[in-house]
A and B are shown apart, each in its own frame.
Chain A
């Protein structure tokens, strides 16, 4: 997918003024947070599981080449094929080739963030295939021609009325001419339309929540059952997965599964957790005749060796964005690429370049909620801070900010001068603002005063007050 992360400032400014978005996001937020809270509170072992999950992932990442090779071998011995891709371009070519060989026309898709990374829908369309998203949220945004705005609830930004309009516009061609306005009817209509697509597709593409080295299985976790119809009905099943998705054994995956649904939706288990291992067996009455896995690197091996390697523990649960005040205000689209919220603000710069997404690490209040709720204990705020620093080192920070910081550094390194300057500054501001007690506007501080008043300083500087307290003891 083409990144528009460099437009974060404009896009978030527009998003903040969108009343529909505000309504939709307001509805979602409380639910996600409360449901997670309840699920975590109900499981005394949550912290222990979190610790174990972290160790499993670290162990695997530390021996990633080994586990990928063992995984590959297990897939092959189950009759499946593994394809490796360093770039999204390579991955797209592999998938198109498989679809061509299958003589496909229609390709159903389960939700896949890696699929979004590689922009597989656009590629399939351009090559003359008909890609059909089957997760309800993904289907809605496919009709709206929009990217997902949340990694587990892709249409969270849409209101029911907007969905009614979309269905009315797109479903009349199937003879469904009534406007469906209530949730059950909306879901039913999607079921009817998509059922036909499931049954006629030649290829089904799913993502993978996990790959298991022990058995060569890929796992998908869903609630709707769309992923299962996608990986069972067509002749060919293609799995797309990042190389960091592998875990050693079924026992290891069990540990992480206990964290995933609770962190994402507050469920103990999602409705369907499905392990697919190779193509259908000789004696099977259904299932795909071919099973392919496309393993995508796309910058992950780079991350493995640098200070961001902990990001590879991410299981894409979405908890960090559900608890992020910035995400809650601007929505997922403002982030401009596949991954929004805190995890996106780390991943996007690493995958598409910091120079093209410079504002993302700054779109953070460093309140630390994301790190607190992350089931894989990923230090997101620390990483965002490091990216800010990188940006500064690469001279990506705007000139004004650099100049101001430089000036501050000059004074900060000279304590006497600093004290004198702050005392002087406070005295001047204090007496200027004495009458009203605050400033409506200040030169060079428009960024602050455009949206709110600046209180005029009262009393003495912090340092003077601090010294005074010390001497009172």
Chain B
């Protein structure tokens, strides 16, 4: 235990008019609050959640295309590449969800973390939040975080049943489906942008210039 740690904690306790740590009876109550997290105020989300998700995402300049099945993802990716005159080289996250896609043999595909000059990545989202049009991506062996930031075009595959209403719902799913917090949780709401030059909004600051969501289902 460092001296600074003891000093800071002692100062805090003095400031709170205490001489030592909280009594066990009090910490038990606080621990219960930590173990059973409760939502506070959740804003009303109007209308149907998928519609809400789509319109929020579009309002922050995320492009969305909806396809019926996983079989159609390859086509949707191809359309994005053609539309933006990109060569058919993809870095795809080694995610089981994406392995199942019958990729067109037009693509040159690598499955790995990103490098500095990758142009297009394809990853899978853990969830979508309708409230704000936000994507939730988790790091892991199957989803390297660099794929979300280094390439110029980031294509995210999201299954429609993964759309939740509020941020709190995404946390509930995370606790249920994962034994522990991944190293990184990315909440992504639109393509990278900056307003640091005279408050003029410019997309493609350091992260992806374009964010394309392929909604499946």
Among A225, A275, A283, the residue within 8 A (CB) of B192 is A225
In the complex, the answer to whether B181 meets A223 with C-beta atoms within 8 Å is no
Number of interface residues of B (CB under 8 A): 79
* Residues of chain A with a CB closer than 8 A to B42's CB: 45
B206 touching A224 by the CB < 8 A rule?
yes
Of A31, A233, A274, the residue contacting B199 (CB under 8 A) is: A31
Residues 34-63 of A at the B interface (beta carbon under 8 Å): 43-45, 48-49, 52, 56, 62-63
Q: Mark A148-188, 1 if CB is under 8 A from B, else 0.
A: 00000111100110010000000000000000000110111
A148 to B: closest C-beta gap in Å? 11
Instruction: For B116, list chain A residues within 8 Å (CB).
Output: 195, 198-199
Q: A64-B16, A66-B22, A248-B34 are in contact. Are A283 and B197 (CB under 8 A)?
A: no
Which B residues are CB-close (under 8 A) to A422? none
Chain B residues with CB below 8 A from A306, complex form: 15
CA distance A14 to B171 in the complex (A): 51
> How distant is the Cα of A282 from the Cα of B44 in the complex, in angstroms?
40
| B121 within 8 A of partner (CB) | no
Q: B9 an interface residue at 8 Å Cβ cutoff?
A: yes
The answer to the question of A342 belonging to the interface, with a C-beta cut-off of 8 Å to chain B, is no
Query: How long is the Cα–Cα vector from A419 to B77 in the complex, in angstroms?
Result: 84
Is B96 in contact with chain A by the CB < 8 A criterion?
A: no
Is the pair B140, A223 in contact by a Cβ cutoff of 8 Å? no
Q: What's the Cα separation between A42 and B132 when bound, in Å?
A: 13
What separation, in Å, do the CA atoms of A254 and B42 have in the docked complex? 9
Out of B9, B112, B114, B202, name the residue touching A183 (CB < 8 Å). B202
Judge whether A251 and B8 touch: CB under 8 Å.
Answer: no
B8 touches A301 (CB 8 A): yes
Chain A residue at smallest Cβ distance from B111:
A285
On whether A184 and B202 interact (CB within 8 A), knowing A52-B41, A140-B196, A302-B11, the answer reads yes
Query: A214-B37, A297-B8 given as contacts; is B44 within 8 A of A44 (CB)?
Result: yes
Interfacial chain A residues near B31, Cβ < 8 Å: 70
Question: Given A191-B205, A305-B16, are A280 and B198 also a contact pair (CB < 8 Å)?
Answer: no
The verdict on A278 contacting chain B, using a C-beta distance below 8 Å, is yes
Contact A160 B11 (CB under 8 A): no
Q: B22: which A residues are within 8 A, CB to CB?
A: 63, 65-66
Judge if A213 is at the interface, Cβ distance under 8 Å.
yes
Please, which residue of chain A has its CB at the minimum distance from the CB of B29? A63
Which A223-269 residues have C-beta < 8 A from chain B? 223-226, 228-229, 231-233, 243, 248-252, 254-255, 257-258, 265, 267-269
The interface residues of chain A lying within 8 Å CB-to-CB of B188 are 271-272
Checking B26, B114, B132, B150 against A269 with a beta-carbon cut-off of 8 angstroms, the contacting residue is B132
Is there an interface contact between B16 and A304, defined as CB atoms closer than 8 Å?
yes
Partner of A278, one of B149, B183, B200: B183
| CB of B10 to closest CB in A, whole Å | 9
| CB-CB nearest in chain A for B188 | A272
B 193-214 binary contact with A (CB < 8 Å = 1; else 0): 1111111101011111000000
Distance in angstroms from B93 CB to nearest chain A CB is 9
Interface centre among B2, B202, B208 (most CB of A within 10 A): B202
Residue in contact with B202 in the complex, picked from A159, A187, A198, A295, CB distance below 8 Å: A187
> Per-position contact with A for B81-125: 1 when CB-CB < 8 Å, else 0?
000000000000010000000000000000011101000000000
Chain A CB within 10 A, most for which of B114, B195, B196: B196
CB-contacts of B2-37 with A (<8 A):
2, 4-5, 7-9, 11-17, 21-22, 26-27, 30-31, 33-34, 37
B48 to chain A, nearest CB (A): 19
Asked if A183 and B13 make an inter-chain contact with CB atoms under 8 angstroms apart, the answer reads no
Minimum distance in angstroms from A152 CB to a CB of chain B:
10
Question: At the interface, yes or no: A217 with Cβ under 8 Å from chain B?
Answer: yes
Q: Which residue of B lies closest to A49 (CB)?
A: B41
Point out which of A140, A159, A252, A284 has the most chain B C-beta atoms below 10 A from its C-beta. A284
Contacts A84-B2, A251-B37 given: A153-B187 contact, CB under 8 Å? no
Does A85 make an interface contact (CB < 8 A)? Answer: yes
Q: Is the CB of B146 within 8 A of A265?
A: no
From the candidates B11, B39, B168, B196, name the one contacting A136 in the complex (CB within 8 A): B196
A269→B193 CA distance, assembly (Å): 13
- Given known contacts A45-B41, A223-B194, is B206 in contact with A287 (CB within 8 Å)? no
Quick check: B43 and A265 within 8 Å, CB to CB? no
Given A84-B2, A90-B4, CB of A136 within 8 Å of CB of B194? yes
**Taking A86-B7, A254-B167, A285-B112 as contacts, is the C-beta distance between A153 and B195 under 8 angstroms?**
yes
Q: Is A314 an interface residue (CB 8 A)?
A: no
The distance from the CB of B137 to the nearest CB of chain A, in whole angstroms, is 10
Shortest distance from the beta carbon of B3 to any chain A beta carbon, whole Å: 9
Assess whether A343 is interfacial by the CB under 8 Å rule: no
Nearest to B129 among chain A residues (CB) is A269
Query: By the criterion CB–CB under 8 Å, are B182 and A277 in contact?
Result: yes
CA distance A49 to B2 in the complex (A): 38
User: Cβ of A134 < 8 Å from any Cβ of B?
Assistant: yes
Within 8 Å of chain B (Cβ to Cβ): is A78? yes
Considering the complex, which residues of chain A in the window 205-222 have a beta carbon less than 8 Å from any beta carbon of chain B? 213-217
A191 touches B204 (CB 8 A): yes
Q: B residues within 8 A CB of A275?
A: 181, 184-185, 187
Given contacts A27-B199, A48-B41, A224-B194, contact A86 B11 (CB under 8 A): yes
- Asked if A112 is an interface residue, CB under 8 A from chain B, the answer is no
List residues of A whose CB falls within 8 A of some B CB.
Answer: 24, 27-28, 31-32, 43-45, 48-49, 52, 56, 62-70, 78, 83-86, 90, 134-137, 140, 153-156, 159-160, 163, 183-184, 186-188, 190-191, 194-195, 198-199, 213-217, 223-226, 228-229, 231-233, 243, 248-252, 254-255, 257-258, 265, 267-281, 283-287, 295, 297, 301-306, 309
